[in-house]
A and B are shown apart, each in its own frame.
Chain A
Amino acid sequence: MATVELHGLMKHYGKDKIPAVKDVSFSVKEGELFGLIGPDGAGKSSIFRMLTTLLLPDGGNATVAGYDIVKDYKAIRNRVGYMPGKFSLYQDLSVEENLNFFATLFNTTIQQNYELIKDIYVQIEPFKNRRAGKLSGGMKQKLALCCALIHKPEVLFLDEPTTGVDAVSRKEFWEMLKRLKQQGITILVSTPYMDEATLCDRIALIQNGEILTVDTPEQIVRNYPFPLYAIRSERITHLLRHLKAYENTRSCFAFGEYLHLTFKQPHEKAVASVTDYLTHEGHTGLECRQINPTVEDCFIQLMKTA
């Protein structure tokens, strides 16, 4: 059974009715770690805010844990945990006071659900008398996660939890999410980082308020329609210009120190002829090989066809 289901959810803002979320539908299964992946302004936060009953949708409907987000908002508030992108706990209260406060609002205590947050809480427990505002970024995030978990929610919404967090803490954070998943909590997480997509069970790629595709990261990568090549030379800036002008180029964009390239006619001689063309243009140190696409490649490809 689907824990979270969206049917044609819509939201627009302002007088001009600029759509932020257009006709979004997807469903999240129970116990799944689901990623909503897209750039800034894609509508991720708006969707989360609607699902957590903070924002009223302008069209469509959705259910969370079986409850309608408009009619049964009170039931939903008892059953979800929400961690907004911006740290929003009381900076002038200590770690323990914050946690206690939110536990009380949910009519529970720290002791009752200690098992659930234990793994995370032990890491910040040495600082439990410190004011939340004085914690480091990673600590704040752990505290926020504890506060969102303190009432043992059925569904956990994490809005860009890893934005602005260093690489080590990000890795740690995903480890924590995996452990939470094992406890049977359905987790929805949004992120602008494509490399985090592979850590989710299933992902939805979103752009300009529209869902591009929903699938497992493996399947999305497998569905990439063309052979993909990584190419580089010693003069990478000229290389991009030359390849864009090349007749058989379907797409070409920079990706780290390589360019990712697809051909209009990906026949066997395509690589040989592009190498000839580039050598003719004066490139040296050419390197070209076929690679497996990443989620980001898929995103760019889907964005173009959308």
Chain B
Amino acid sequence: MRTILFLLQKEFRQIFRNRSILPIIFVMPLMQLIVLPLAADYEVKNINLAVVDHDHSPYSAQLCAKISGSGYFRLVNYGSDFKTAFELIETDKADLVLEIPAGFERTVVRENEDKVFIAVNAINGVKAGLGGSYLNRILNDFNQDIRLKWMQLPRYNPMPVVEVTSSVWFNPHMNYNFFMVPGILAILVTMMGSYMTALNIVKEKEIGTIEQLNVTPIRKHHFVLGKLIPFWVLGMFVFSVGLFIIARLIYGIVPLGGIALLYGFLAVYLLAILGLGLLISTYCDTQQQAMSVTFFFMMIFMLMSGLFTSIDSMPIWAKGIAYLSPVTYFIEVVRMIVLKGSTFTDLKIHFAAIASFAVVLNTWAILNYKKRS
């Protein structure tokens, strides 16, 4: 016990004396939580729209006003020549071109229908898709307005119509930050845990202090605990700062579910991720190697654990990879507890998965850590 305490004292001293690690521990969570959710936003705004109006009628003007009034579009050009508009797409100044044919108003009034043309720049697929569908919705709306104005609708709709009304749960304002902040919080803890542990142990290998430790009668589990506990504590700390200060004060996110449940999951998850760091350190001899290997895993964790994209829409093989990463489960857990107020019963499978990762990774690491070669 005395040995463990001394090991911990030594670790904390070293961490607090390290002038480059310390700011990272405190500044990184602040920066990432404040900046990333604002930037990583899937709601597409500021779609640049060029309108080619061959009609110049009150109706076409009305349509344009309706579109630019929606808040999603920015009118970059209003002209009557498709060629100029297309050049704007080519030079990347416009994302969408809406062409209103000549005689639009007349045809709509007389014949009750007309066609408009939309050209979409699909280099950024998401922006193109969403922009196109926003525009379609607005056109539909406009259509409805005109029909109401010109036709006397029968009391009962002659054709059966299913109208969809939706109600949004758990994130009623569809605020994208509510979705991102818990996810980024999970990633932050992951980075802290894996990088710090791996680098810390490999540093001892590089300097040679590990040999000096290995000739002492220090027990393997003492050494491992002495390395894991400090970063476990730091992980808890960073998570708390993120949850109680940044998420609450800046984004107004208050966890719906139990704080104790959340921290229970965090405690087990940190064990799993520290185990990963430990495992990496047993295979690497230099900090450079450890850094590269950890970076490789971090990239996969970031892109494949459902942080940005939905796992359900991934191909089967990618889903397989996603569910082989502990991060996937933890991001889901954080989101479910914070946004949905899930209870342990809803998260049993997640708990089993995370706990298994913790056991497997740590056992593997301890078996592979050898005091002699």
Q: Are B212 and A89 in contact (CB under 8 A)?
A: yes
Within 8 A of A (CB), among B185-236: 207-209, 211-218
Do B216 and A105 touch (CB < 8 A)? yes
| Contacting pair B372 A55 (CB below 8 A) | yes
Question: Is B218 touching A105 in the complex (CB atoms < 8 A)?
Answer: yes
Shortest distance from the beta carbon of A141 to any chain B beta carbon, whole Å: 14
Report how many A-B pairs have Cβ atoms within 8 Å.
69
In the complex, per-residue mask of B2-30: 1 if CB is within 8 Å of any chain A CB, else 0: 11001000100110011000000000000
Is residue A246 contacting chain B, with contact meaning CB distance below 8 A?
no
**Chain A hits for B218, CB < 8 A:** 105
**Contacting residues, chain A, for B214 (C-beta < 8 A):** 54
Please give me the residue from chain B that is nearest to A82 by CB atom.
B215
Q: What is the bound-complex CA distance between A185 and B78, given in angstroms? A: 95
A112–chain B nearest beta-carbon distance, Å = 14
Q: Does B310 contact A (CB under 8 A)?
A: no
The docked-state distance in angstroms from the alpha carbon of A16 to that of B2 is: 45
State whether A53 touches B372 (Cβ < 8 A): yes
Given A54-B373, A101-B6, the answer on whether A84 and B212 have CB atoms closer than 8 Å is yes
Q: Which residues of A lie under 8 Å from residue B3 when comparing CB positions? A: 104-105, 107
- How far, in Å, is A114 (CB) from chain B's closest CB? 18
Pairwise interchain contact B216-A102, C-beta atoms closer than 8 A: yes
Q: Which residues of A contact B211 (CB under 8 A)?
A: 54, 82, 84, 88
Known contacts A53-B372, A56-B373, A104-B2: A90-B215 contact under CB 8 Å:
no
Is A106 part of the binding interface, using a Cβ–Cβ cutoff of 8 Å?
Answer: yes
- Chain B residues with Cβ below 8 Å from A116 are none
Interface size on B, residues (CB 8 A): 22
Given A90-B10, A90-B209, A92-B18, does the pair A52, B215 have CB atoms closer than 8 Å? Answer: yes
Given A93-B10, A101-B10: A82 touches B212 (CB 8 Å cut-off): yes
Size range of the interface on A?
20 to 34
A:52-108 near B, CB below 8 Å: 52-56, 73-74, 77-78, 80, 82, 84, 86-93, 97, 100-102, 104-107
In contact, A88 and B372 (Cβ under 8 angstroms): no
Q: Scan A101-126; emit 1 where CB is below 8 A from any B CB, else 0.
A: 11011110000000000000000000
Q: What mask results when residues 35 to 67 of chain A are scored 1 for a CB within 8 Å of chain B, else 0?
A: 000000000000000001111100000000000
Chain A CB within 10 A, most for which of B18, B209, B213, B371: B209
Tell which of B212, B217, B218 has the most Cβ of chain A within 10 Å. Answer: B212
Residue of A nearest to B370 (CB): A56
B207 lies within 8 A of A88 (CB): yes
Whole-angstrom distance between the alpha carbons of A87 and B209 in the complex? 9
Closest 9 CB pairs of A and B: A88-B208, A105-B216, A104-B6, A82-B215, A77-B217, A88-B212, A78-B217, A92-B17, A52-B215
Apart from the given pairs A88-B207, A105-B3, 20 other A-B contacts in the complex at a CB distance below 8 Å: A54-B211, A54-B371, A54-B372, A56-B373, A77-B216, A82-B212, A84-B212, A90-B10, A90-B209, A92-B13, A92-B14, A92-B17, A93-B13, A102-B212, A102-B216, A104-B2, A105-B6, A105-B218, A106-B217, A107-B2
List 21 A-B pairs, Cβ < 8 Å: A54-B214, A54-B372, A54-B373, A55-B373, A77-B216, A77-B217, A82-B211, A82-B212, A82-B215, A86-B208, A88-B209, A90-B14, A93-B10, A93-B13, A97-B10, A104-B3, A105-B3, A105-B6, A105-B217, A106-B216, A107-B217
